[in-house]
Amino acid sequence: RQEQWEEVPQLGESRFGSLWPLPQNVVISPVAFMLRSSSFQIVHSAESSAGPGCSILQSAFRRYFEYMFGYMKNQGGNTKKGQDSEVTELQVWITSADSECDAYPSVTSDESYELTVDQPTAVLKAAKVWGALRGLETFSQLVYEDQYGAKKINKTDVQDFPRFAHRGLLLDSSRHFLPVKVILANLEAMAMNKYNVFHWHIVDDNSFPYESTVFPDLSRKGAYHPYTHIYTPTDVKMVIEFARMRGIRVISEFDTPGHTQSWGKGQMDLLTSCYSGENPTGSFGPVNPILNSTYDFMAKFFKEVSLVFPDTYIHLGGDEVDFTCWKSNPDIQAFMQEHGFDKDFKKLESYYIQKLLDIVGSTKKGYMIWQEVFDNGVKLKPDTVVEVWMGSNYQEELQNVTAAGFSTILSAPWYLDYISYGQDWQRYYKVEPLAFKGTDAQKKLVIGGEACLWGEYVDATNLTPRLWPRASAVAERLWSNQNVTDVGDAYNRLTQHRCRMVARGIPAEPLFVGYCDQEYKGL
């Protein structure tokens, strides 16, 4: 039954316990210390540039205390004071003058940290709050229960930083609406896996759930339902702040000129009218690139988006533009002749994208685009980030994009909406993003990658288990050292990490036959 699928490794104990993703440098000694919920606390060290006024850390301290002790009914075992060495506090020390407590994370955020676990005090040192968040997750992953149910942590040294700066997850809230609750649960899971970008593919052909204050008809007429299936400005703010508190950027994607059927319902004349001979068919194609009104709309709309989403980047899509409707439209044919485009519709697409990029550039945002925009020769700003998604030959595409001097992120091998029987996590785990021909300078331009879960077959009922722990495999590939490739060791750690996610309330699906001490308790 198993022949054509990935081998299931032998399950055993990893010398790294249940750490995931594996830190860059970690030494775990056999010396174990007690941890007691009654005496243990997480505190700001006296030297830290952050203090009790830093809400991002204060709420993280509470969150991680609960992760470590919360689901215990009682302090099991016979644990009288003074019987064992004990860790009574974790001191968090932000070393740089600006802790970035009130900032938003960015592609240049420093996520490095050092962790020393000793008794009676463990110390977590980080230049910025972002590194402290990652270190708190690592500390919580070092805590385990002995056979009597008492909490233990071993004497440990960790120096850690991410291999790639952009470690993203794409969720699609257009093909199916995703309730805010589901998005927040997945941001929580992302933090457990040290992801730092939520790529929110918020609208598409099928529905327009983003409620625009400038163009309210877009969601009023383009959402599946104008009240129940929309993200209000308050919802969007909540998602962005929940993500910020976990060191996660929210990059919104508003894909044009294709993938825009839902936009046309609430915005007259935005889409191209399709023709059959001399008569309009009543159906519509991509955004109409020849009208001034199109660009007036885009300027107002993207000005709003640039104020709603604080991240320095907006994803502008630009993929899969179907030229059939443009070809059929007599006004567009005339415009093409006038501009000397002849019959090359890629030139028309480039004309549109060029104008859109200028509009978005004027809002002082950087932009990300899907690879077709680059492939079609559109003139791009030097700080454009190109996302490589086409699976057939992504190594060659990485080579071309980086040779042209652009930063790039890879998602082609990590389309998690493709599902199969067996341990497909291994396939995602075995990808090496830099395995393409290119100079060291080119390889430095690969700033990271993304796991994508497109929404044709997922909604609130099945999204989270389909995503985790499969997305965890991608998380370790993007965080850990390039030489962390032992699938057997990964399987041992990932099995435990998956059980930890389940204990924390994330319904992550099993990797194979077995059980968790804390089984899923339902929503």
Model pLDDT for residues 458-517, shown as the tens digit of each residue: 999 999 999 999 999 999 999 999 999 999 999 999 999 999 999 999 999 999 999 999
- Those residues whose C-beta lies under 8 Å from the C-beta of residue 314, and which sit 6 or more positions away, are 251, 252, 253, 254, 302, 305, 306, 360, 365, 366, 367, 368
pLDDT value of residue 75: 39
Identify whether 320 is a catalytic site residue.
Answer: yes
Give me the catalytic one of 7, 13, 320, 432.
320
pLDDT value of residue 9: 94
Residue 140 has pLDDT above 60, yes or no: yes
- Quickly state the pLDDT bin for 390 (edges 50, 70, 90): very high
pLDDT, average across residues 69-97? 72
Q: What is the DSSP letter of 413?
A: G
Residue 355 CA to residue 315 CA, distance in Å, equals 15
Residue 125 CA to residue 93 CA, distance in Å, equals 5
Cis peptide before 162, with omega less than 30 degrees from 0? no
Find, among 447, 449, 372, 371, the residue nearest to 416 by Cα: 449
Residue 523 has pLDDT above 90, yes or no: no
Q: 200-217 pLDDT, tens per residue? A: 999 999 999 999 999 999
Q: Nearest 5°: CA angle at 513, between 510 and 514? A: 85
- Quickly state the pLDDT bin for 3 (edges 50, 70, 90): very low
Residue 125 CA to residue 362 CA, distance in Å, equals 39
Task: Using alpha carbons, list the distances in angstroms from residue 370 to 302, 325, 387.
Answer: 18, 22, 5
pLDDT, average across residues 380-398? 94
**According to the per-residue pLDDT averaged within each range, which of 66-70, 84-88, 161-165 is highest?**
161-165
3-class DSSP state of 29: strand
Residue 199 CA to residue 311 CA, distance in Å, equals 11
Find, among 62, 58, 131, 139, the residue nearest to 99 by Cα: 131
- Quickly state the pLDDT bin for 77 (edges 50, 70, 90): very low
pLDDT value of residue 262: 98
Half-sphere exposure of residue 343: CA atoms within 13 angstroms, side-chain side: 3
3-class DSSP state of 499: helix
Architecture of domain 25-70+85-160: 2-Layer Sandwich (3.30)
Query: With the C-alpha atoms ordered 445, 451, 456, 461, is the resulting torsion angle positive or negative?
Result: negative
pLDDT value of residue 6: 83
Find, among 148, 127, 133, the residue nearest to 34 by Cα: 148
Task: Using alpha carbons, list the distances in angstroms from residue 196 to 57, 162, 171, 453.
Answer: 16, 10, 14, 16
Residue 412 has pLDDT above 90, yes or no: yes
Residue predicted with more confidence, 392 or 362: 362
Residue 139 has pLDDT above 70, yes or no: yes
Q: 46-61 pLDDT, tens per residue? A: 999 999 999 999 999 9
Find, among 229, 184, 186, 228, the residue nearest to 206 by Cα: 229
Residue 409 CA to residue 374 CA, distance in Å, equals 13
Residue 156 has pLDDT above 70, yes or no: yes
Q: Which segments of 271-328 are extended strands (E)?
A: 271-276, 279-287, 313-315
Q: Do strands 144-145 and 151-160 pair parallel, antiparallel, or not at all (unpaired)?
A: antiparallel
Cis peptide before 469, with omega less than 30 degrees from 0? yes
Find, among 398, 381, 468, the residue nearest to 433 by Cα: 398
pLDDT value of residue 70: 81
Give the chain's length.
Answer: 523
For the chain, give the mean pLDDT: 95
Q: 16-38 pLDDT, tens per residue? A: 999 999 999 999 999 999 999 99
Task: Kindly list the domain boundaries of the chain, sorted by start residue.
Answer: 25-70+85-160, 166-504
Q: 357-371 pLDDT, tens per residue? A: 999 999 999 999 999
pLDDT, average across residues 258-285? 96
Contact 446, 165 (CB under 8 A): no
- Quickly state the pLDDT bin for 251 (edges 50, 70, 90): very high
Burial class (CB in 10 A: 0-12, 13-18, 19+), 298: buried
Residue 209 CA to residue 227 CA, distance in Å, equals 9
pLDDT, average across residues 447-461? 98
3-class DSSP state of 289: coil
Architecture of domain 166-504: Alpha-Beta Barrel (3.20)
pLDDT value of residue 1: 41
3-class DSSP state of 292: helix
Q: What is the DSSP letter of 412?
A: G
Amino acid residing at 75: Q
Residue 417 CA to residue 151 CA, distance in Å, equals 38
